[in-house]
Amino acid sequence: MEEPKPKLTISGLRKLLRLYSYIKPYKYEYALGMLFLVGSSSASLAFPKLLGQLVDLGNQGKLAQEINRIALILIGVLIAQSVFSYFRIYLFVNVAEKTLADLRQSTFNHLIRLPMKFFQYRRVGELNSRISSDITLLQDALTSTLAEFLRQLIIIIGGVSLLMFTSFKLTLFMLAIVPVIMILVVFFGRYIRKLSKQAQSQVADSNTIVEETLQGIQSVKAFTNEFFEMARYRKKTLDIAQTGIQNGKLRGAFSSFTILGLFGAMVAVIWKGSALVASRELATGELFSFVIYSMFIGGTIGGMADVFTRVQKFIGATEDLLEIFDEQVELVGETIQIPPEEVLHGSICFDKVSFSYPSRPEMQVLTDVNVTVKPDTLVALVGPSGAGKSTFVSLLLRLYDPASGHILFDGRDNRNIPLSVLRSQMAIVPQDIFLFGGTIRENIAYGKPGASEEKIADAARNANAWEFISQFPEGMDTLVGERGTQLSGGQRQRIAIARAVLKNPKILILDEATSSLDSESERLVQDALEKLMKGRTSIVVAHRLSTIRQADHILVLDNGRIVEQGTHDQLLQVTDGLYRNLSELQFAG
């Protein structure tokens, strides 16, 4: 399906102007750069006029003194143009780099504050492409492209004005040819724009393949799918190449027509000018100046094709980026210290909560859930796969809001508690542990950035992680590798537990992860979890029922509803109960 073409509507223009707000902090540097740009362009316009005067003085047999004076002025103009050009480029590059940094930071800051539902529709590789290649395109467009467009505009307007002053007849003759070139610019530019947008989208798709393949390299190798991934990437890169070749054909044809038109126009101008010189309506020096001005203007119009192409890429990249900026962010903030009135005591209440994911609104995941969890108790969630256990946890963390009903903490609706304040008092130890590719210290400290070395070490000890950490030659400075691949499953779990210990949450969420561990690792992890759960409200998603026998309350979910609840012993007494059936199946196995 063909993507809609970017158009410069009034609404679109307003969106583009939003991006120029990033230049505002550097407006004085930018304005000074513009002044040097005007000076450089003006010097360029003075150059042909002075050359024409030099030719006329030679033709008229004037004194060498007068010829030398014009030559010295020409040298002065060249020096001035060189100085102006240097400062113009320096200032624009300076502004461009600062603007690029601000724009990247703003995009990343916006992305990281977007709600989870946004990431259901977007792939990591695509978003990575937006923050890298698209913003690089914008860097050029926000500064140098605009500057180049203004420079070309000054040369065209100033050049045509000077041509009119030199010879009105010859100028009209030249201008009769220019519209043909401009029509070609518009005609070819439309197709170049379409292919540029298509190429950007294909590059984003190829980045996604690379990122996902490398993230899941273990699965790729385990399933011997190296050649499958190579073929997938090869197809996408060949598509990019094909689009680039088509774009190249169009640009080549565009350049050919432009050159033909420019040189054809030049021949016509010299032919007409020679006739005017013969009839003494035009001096030789004036014709010389006229030809150079015409070359300047023609070359500038030809150069506008490149600027136009960059503008089309700019429009495409801007639309993609502004789509992200138009997404509503979560109201998160820094939580340096939690106000006393916002401190949670651990009471949780689900009041008639129903929920379906935004991407699948027709599928009800939770239906009319009513639960009350007392402070400092251990509550387990059990049930078959797809029963709604993980969704229950996601709603607790307010990664999503319920479609109907309310979730209360200490009697307060969770929507009335600042989001960062709420999440800062909860911690989760998931089944699939994600560790960052830095050191063990950095991964533990992620639970509470800025924590002292002593507190980090204490957290490691409480999580039964200190023993294996101290055996590494680098200790806390040991690199865990991409996603923690240098550590075993049990070690990763204990690092995650240490991270939660350091955070010291009031509400702890555990997605039981001992099922895939060996007996020794399971014992160490379970012991660490028991220490961590003391004095907190703990919500445990249980896959192995043997680990939750001591739970204060067990909720049995099936098809998004709580079908049974009670203690382990109470639930075992329910004839044909789901919990009893699950328990018998597991222990029989």
The predicted pLDDT at position 312 comes to 65
Q: What is the CA radius of gyration of the chain?
A: 35
Which structural domains are found in the chain, ordered by start? Answer: 12-325 (1.20.1560.10), 433-504 (3.40.50.300)
Distances (CA, A) of 565 to 88, 270, 381, 453, 571: 73, 96, 9, 43, 7
- Report the pLDDT value the prediction gives residue 385, as an integer from 0 to 100: 82
Give 522's DSSP letter: H
Q: Which of 52-56, 297-301, 545-549 has the highest mean pLDDT?
A: 545-549
The mean pLDDT value for 510-518 works out to 64
Predicted confidence (pLDDT) per residue in 529-581, tens digit = 777 788 889 898 887 777 788 888 999 998 889 898 988 888 888 878 888 88
User: How does the average pLDDT of the chain come out, rounded?
Assistant: 78
Residue 379: which H helix or E strand, with range?
strand 378-382
Q: Mean per-residue pLDDT for 33-61?
A: 73
pTM over 0.85: no
pLDDT in tens, 192-224: 767 776 777 777 777 778 877 887 777 777 767
Of 28-37, 131-140, 375-384, the one with minimum mean pLDDT is: 131-140
Average pLDDT over residues 115-128: 74
pLDDT band at 7 (very low <50, low <70, confident <90, very high): very low
Strands 537-541 and 378-382, bridge-based pairing: parallel
pLDDT digits (tens, 9 = 90+) for 363-400: 888 999 999 999 989 998 988 888 888 889 889 988 88
Would you state the pLDDT for residue 53?
67
Largest interatomic CA distance in the chain:
121
Could you give the percent of the chain with pLDDT greater than 90?
A: 4
Query: Distance of CA 471 to CAs 152, 460, 465, 478, 488, Å?
Result: 67, 13, 10, 10, 14
| DSSP reduced 3-state for 557 | strand
Q: Please give the pLDDT value at position 317.
A: 67
